[in-house]
Each structure stands twice: as structure tokens, then as C-alpha cells.
Structure 1
Amino acid sequence: MNKEETLQRLNSMNKNTLMETLNIEFVAVGDDSLTAKMPVNSNVHQPFGILHGGATAAIAETVGSVASFLFLKDKEKVVKGIELTINHLKSVKEGFVFATAKPIHKGRTTHLWEVKVTNEKDELISICKLTNIILDK
């Protein structure tokens, strides 16, 4: 499957999920990375009119978990996030944020991902670490 088909397949899984609610869309897949984008508007603002940290965490966990699923060799496994740490460094009022997951460790039973969330100017908004456990279906 080529990269375009992969992105179409991943985006088709968003129907009736939090990803659809937040308008998260997978936009790029690399040899060992996955990127998604999310619009920043009043739907994801906190009361002060800036991107809510929970929405940022949602896109970070989404892209890291889906990356584990995508790069698994064994399709008889399921991926579950077990720990997410996130540091918010800059605020965003509008536009889009992009979350890119890159592996730190891809073991047999755990994956550790670094997820960088950036704005449209490629400025770092948040940095995250996501640990996923790999289980039998």
C-alpha cells in the first residue's frame, strides 16, 4: 500500500470517534513517523481563547497510538496507550497544529514515542512522550 492509500485508510477509521469530533486528520506518513493535523478554533479552546491542553494531549496520543498500530508487523496485536506525559511550551489561538510521532523504542511488548506538536510556523507548541503496550487481540 502506498502512502496516500495508507493515509486514506487511517483517516477512514476516524468516523464516529474523538478524532472525528476534533477534526484530526492524518496528513503524512514516513518510514518511521506519522503526522496528523488538527484545527485550532473555539471547539478546542479553553476559556481564555487558546488551545486546550486536553485537545493537544488527544492529538498526541492519537498520532502515537496509530503510529504503533501502523508500524506493527503482527496485525494480530492491539495497541493501548498506558502513559502520556506532555509539556506545553507555547499557546495557539487559531490555525492548525501538527503532531508528529517518531519512535524512541519499538519493542515486542512496548513502544515509546516522542510526539512533537507544532504550529503552522513549525514552532514547538508541546512535546510529549507516549508509552504503548502491545497485546494480543
Structure 2
Amino acid sequence: MTHLDQTTHAHGASPDPLAHGGWVGAHWPGTLMEATGMEVLEHTAARTVISMPIDGNRQSAGILHGGASAALAETAASFAAQIHARETNPGKPAFAVGTELNASHIGAGREGTVTATATAVHLGRSSTVHTVEIRDEADRLISVARVTNRILVRPRHK
């Protein structure tokens, strides 16, 4: 089952990552995105925005878990890279895979929702690099990350 096969759209139709808005409103049953409550708010190769509740994603001290922040950052950048992979390889089974994640946790998320904004730094033929800022509802910076993805194309079977 492919990533796209697993998705369902909030409105019942299959999401189209190449359409305007891509995976906005889609859900991924049985995945980390579902378990953490991530929601795609905006989706393009240049900029992808995903939110996540702090509740359910806390560490033992009661604040947002750094691993949850890292997962949110990688998800936002990878979704952006996925749409870039498909845009730059029309008609081919192209996809993106994460190769590097660097995250600095700057503030403590305590209540509400955090939002990750992945912004493209490099959109190449074989790789992408995005910076990701994670902010709380008061616009305080919680984490900043850099994510690199490799663009791959599955070989066609004859």
C-alpha cells in the first residue's frame, strides 16, 4: 500500500497532491500523523503548514515532547518535498525520502496547538532542503529545523 493509498480526504474524495492545496484536509489512518493529531493547513512545494495539538504529545515534564516537534518538522518538509518530486517528474512514480533532520528546541510548548511552517531553501532535481519553524498559538518560536529530502523515481516494471 502506498502513502497515497492510505490517505482519505475529509470530504470523502481522494486527495490530489498535485492539485491546489494538495493534502489539505486529508487523514492518514494508522500513521504517526493520525496518532499525533497533525492537520495539513497549506501544502505546496515552496511552503507547507501543518498543525499539531500539544495535548497527547507531551513529555513527562508536561511540555511538548522534542520528538513530537521533530516528527512535525519532518512531516511538513517531507510533504513539501513529495509535491516537488511529483511536479518535477510528471508521469513518473517519483517520491521523496528524508535523509537529514536537524532540530533545535528553543521554547517550551505548554498549551494549545503548535504550527510548523516548512519553507523551501532548495528545490532541486534530486534533493530538497526546507527550514521549518514551529510556533505556538502566541507566535512564540518553539523549534527550528532543517530537513533534507532525496527525490527518487521508482523504476518501471516491464
Q: Under a length normalisation based on structure 2, what TM-score does the superposition of the two structures give?
A: 0.78
Q: Deviations over 1:42-61 (max 9, x none)?
A: x2111100000000000000
Relative to total residues, which structure has the larger strand share, 1 or 2?
1
Report what 2:114 is aligned to.
97
Structure 1 residue 28 corresponds to structure 2 residue 46: no
Matched, 1:51 2:67: no
Unaligned runs of 5+ in 1: none
Give SS of 1:7's match: coil
Range that drifts further, 31-40 or 77-86:
31-40
RMSD: 1.5
**1:128 and 1:31 mapped to 2: Cα distance?**
17
Equivalence for 2:29? 15
Inter-CA distance 6–24: structure 2 relative to 1 (3 Å threshold): closer
Q: What residue in structure 2 maps to residue 70 of structure 1? A: 83
Greater gyration radius? 2
Structure number with the bigger relative contact order (C-alpha 8 A, sep ≥ 6) is 1
* Inter-CA distance 30–132: structure 2 relative to 1 (3 Å threshold): closer
**CA shift for structure 1 position 112:** 0.5
More helix by share: 1
> Where does the alignment leave 5 or more consecutive residues of structure 2 unmatched?
1-18
Which residue is equivalent to 2:139? Answer: 122
Structure 2 residue aligned with 1:2 = 20
| Corresponding residue of 2:153 | 136
Q: CA deviation at 1:71?
A: 2.7
Q: Among 96, 103, 111, which residue is 1:79 paired with?
A: 96
- Return the alpha-carbon distance in structure 2 between the equivalents of residues 49 and 117 of structure 1: 18
Structure 2 residue matching 1:121: 3-state secondary structure? coil
Identical pairs, percent: 35
Offset at residue 2 of structure 1 (A): 3.4
Equivalent residue letter for 1:105: H
